[in-house]
Structures are given as C-alpha cells and as structure tokens.
C-alpha cells in the first residue's frame, strides 16, 4: 500500500524584513483543503471561500486581516512589528506549516496569469533602475507573441536578443562606473554631484580621498554604482598606498572606467592603469577653457568629455556618454528581454512545450 503525503503549507514573508506598519505573511498549498484546514486552526471561522477577507484575532497574538486570494494562496496581514510576525509564524509552524526560503515567483504573485508574468513581477520588485519597470511589464505580451508564431528564431534574431539582454540585465543589478585620476583633479566633486549628496571629502589637498567612496547615481532612470577612487600618485602613506593598490582590482572589473584630468594635471599614465579607460574627462573647464597641459598627445581609445564638476557644465553629456558605453542610452518599451533561464531556452526553440506553458500558451 502506497502512502499519500499531503503537501505542507508553505510560509513566505512577502514584506521587507524590517519593521513596518503592516507585514504580509503568505501561505501557499496546492492542496486547497489543507490550506483551509490551516486557516481554520488559525481562526474561529470554518469557511474560507476564495476572495474573502476577514479581520480576525490571530491566535491571540494580534488582530489583522486574512485574505484567501486563490484556491492555493492566502495572505495574513498583521501589524508589522518583528515580534508580532515572529509569533504568528511560530503559531503557523505549530499548525504544520513550513518556512519556504526561496519560493517560486508564481507562489509569491498568485495574481499573475503565468510563470513568466510572475517572474516579471518578481524582477520588477528587485530592479535597481526605474526604466526597467515598463519594459518588464511588457515582456509577457512580447514573448507570447513570439512563441505563438511557433517559428524558431533565426541566428541573427537570436544573437541580437542575447546581446541586448546582457545589456538590459544591468537594469536589475547596477553596473559599476569607476573614476580614476591624479589627486585634486575633482573626482570627489564629480562624485558628490553625480550621487546627489556629499559622500566624498572635497579639499585642495592631494590625497584627501584615501579610500573608495561609493554611492548610487541615476541617469534617465538608469541606476549606476558610482565609485570614487584615491588619487593615483606615488605616496609614502601606507594606508593610501594600499587603497590605490586595491583600486586597481576594481578598475579591471568596472563596467565603465573613466580617467579624469584638469588643466594642471594630466591623465594617469597608461602603465598606472590595469586596462585602457572607456572614457576620458577633462574637468574644471569653468576656470580654464583650454585643453590643459600636454602629456598624452594621442588618445586612441575611449571618448573625451569636457566638464565642470563644480558648475555642472557638460555633466549631462558625460552621463549620456556613460549610458552609451553601457548600451542603455535608448531603452525601448517593446524590446524582447530574455531575463530568465526559460526565456533563454525560448531563443533556442520557442516551440518547446515547457516554454509554451511558461508563457501561458
């Protein structure tokens, strides 16, 4: 005789881990009867029809709302204090539920029409760049249209979507922009302007910035992780020397490496950098409109932008140039974005039954 095991109801905290006004504890069980049994154990109500929301006593811990969203999903909405949430979760565990650390998106977003839409909603929730929101919201329709044609993509289409998707992935996890230059060329002033607050110490003293300073910048709805590095120079200060050495590793991995000069100090020498820069910036054009001193008469790699970090002149052009380097200067609302493994499988064969089910076809 085979034992039939009833699936456990899973618990997922769908609200942020910090305390708030209201928390959301989500319950999911494909066995609808088991879910209803747990809700009965939590409250005095015997019937829990789909779509019903009630304000109830939560096992003597709190008063809060409970809603049965679908046959398989319910949400408990108590006050958001951590102690309250922990005690409610403890009661649910006593009733036989289990904590699910990494729930599938479709369980977190029961309102989604298919797994693709649920993954898009989950990705919207963690996307760093606001410009990603509308594009992700459009993906379900765009991919359904592609899959419904039931025709494999040609090599050119497949390669274009792959390459573009790698660029668009930077809208989820911010790319890194790193600025390097000799001391006192204005890197800290530029950093403070770009991230909109005073994160770097600004002074007319070489070596003022001895550590990396980082912050989140945003241009045209695209979020970037901005890094200000110590000025590149020979130094006897062991702390500063260590910071300069560590910055070299960050330069290698930066998505955009910018070197900066001003009218009195040239760019760092090529042998001081671990790789060629992507862009070059001449700063302080507000006090000297000429190109500054010679030193590197030919710059074969990267583009050059003239700015004043102090007044903001040319900074919009710099921001546009950075987005261009990242391929994010013109994010369209109807681009197909293979942002999940199943969509990357769709590039190989959109007729795959798993792919069709994933998109709700």
- List pLDDT tens digits, range 183-233: 889 888 999 999 885 444 443 434 444 456 788 999 999 999 998 876 555
Which ranges in the chain are annotated with CATH 3.30.1360.120? 10-103
Query: Cα angle vertex 60, ends 55, 64, to 5°?
Result: 25
CA-to-CA dists, residue 164 to 197, 243, 320, 328, 348, angstroms: 32, 35, 18, 10, 16
Average pLDDT over residues 270-297: 74
Q: Is the pLDDT of residue 119 over 80?
A: yes
Q: pLDDT category, 293, cuts 50, 70, 90?
A: very low
Contact in structure between 126 and 172 (CB atoms under 8 Å) = yes
If we measure between CA atoms, which residue out of 227, 226, 194, 187 comes closest to residue 208?
Answer: 187
Q: Is the pLDDT of residue 357 over 90?
A: yes
- Whether domain 176-326 has CATH 3.20.20.70: the reply is no
Q: pLDDT category, 163, cuts 50, 70, 90?
A: very high
pTM of the model: 0.75
Whole-number pLDDT of residue 206: 43
Residue reference for tokens 């996307």: 127
Torsion sign over Cα 243, 244, 245, 247: positive
Burial of residue 87, with CB atoms counted within 10 A of its CB: 0-12 exposed, 13-18 middle, 19 or more buried: middle
Which ranges in the chain are annotated with CATH 3.40.50.300? 176-326
Q: Is the pLDDT of residue 295 over 50?
A: no
More confident residue, 177 or 107: 177
Lowest mean pLDDT among 96-110, 124-138, 241-255, 337-351: 241-255
Query: What CATH number matches the domain at 10-103, 3.30.300.30, 3.20.20.70, 3.30.1360.120, 3.30.70.3270?
Result: 3.30.1360.120
Whole-number pLDDT of residue 199: 44
Q: Above pLDDT 70, what percent of the chain? A: 85
Rounded to 5 degrees, φ, ψ at 260 are -125, 145
Q: pLDDT category, 132, cuts 50, 70, 90?
A: very high
Average pLDDT over residues 319-334: 92
């Amino acid at each position: 005789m085979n034992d039939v095991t009833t699936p456990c109801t899973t618990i997922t905290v769908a609200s942020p881990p910090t305390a708030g006004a209201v928390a959301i504890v989500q319950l999911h069980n494909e066995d609808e009867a088991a879910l209803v049994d747990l809700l009965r154990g939590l409250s005095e109500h015997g019937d829990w029809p789909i779509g019903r929301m009630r304000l109830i006593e939560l096992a003597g811990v709190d008063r809060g709302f409970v809603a049965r969203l679908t046959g398989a999903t319910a949400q408990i909405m108590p006050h958001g204090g951590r102690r309250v949430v922990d005690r409610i979760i403890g009661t649910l565990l006593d009733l036989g539920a289990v904590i699910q650390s990494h729930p599938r998106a479709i369980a977190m977003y029961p309102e989604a029409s298919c797994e693709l839409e649920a993954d898009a909603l989950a990705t919207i929730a963690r996307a760093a760049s606001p410009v990603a929101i509308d594009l992700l919201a459009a993906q379900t329709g765009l991919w359904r249209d592609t899959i419904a044609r039931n025709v494999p993509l040609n090599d050119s289409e497949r390669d274009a979507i792959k390459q573009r998707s790698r660029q668009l992935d930077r809208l989820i996890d911010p790319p890194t922009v790193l600025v390097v230059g000799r001391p006192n060329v204005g890197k800290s002033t530029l950093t403070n302007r770009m991230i909109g607050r005073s994160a770097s110490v600004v002074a007319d003293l070489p070596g003022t910035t001895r550590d990396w300073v980082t912050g989140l910048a945003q241009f045209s709805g695209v979020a970037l992780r901005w890094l200000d590095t110590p000025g590149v120079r020979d130094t006897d200060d062991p702390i500063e020397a260590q910071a300069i050495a560590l910055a070299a590793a960050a330069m290698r991995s930066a998505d955009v490496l910018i070197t900066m000069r001003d009218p009195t100090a040239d760019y760092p020498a090529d042998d001081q950098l671990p790789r060629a820069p992507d862009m070059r910036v001449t700063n302080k054009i507000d006090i000297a409109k000429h190109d500054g001193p010679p030193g590197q008469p030919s710059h074969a790699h990267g583009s050059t932008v003239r700015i004043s970090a102090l007044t903001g002149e040319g900074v919009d052009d710099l921001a546009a140039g950075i987005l261009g380097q990242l391929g994010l200067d013109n994010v369209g609302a109807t681009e197909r974005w293979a942002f999940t493994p199943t969509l990357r499988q769709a590039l190989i064969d959109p007729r795959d039954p798993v792919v069709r089910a994933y998109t709700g076809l």
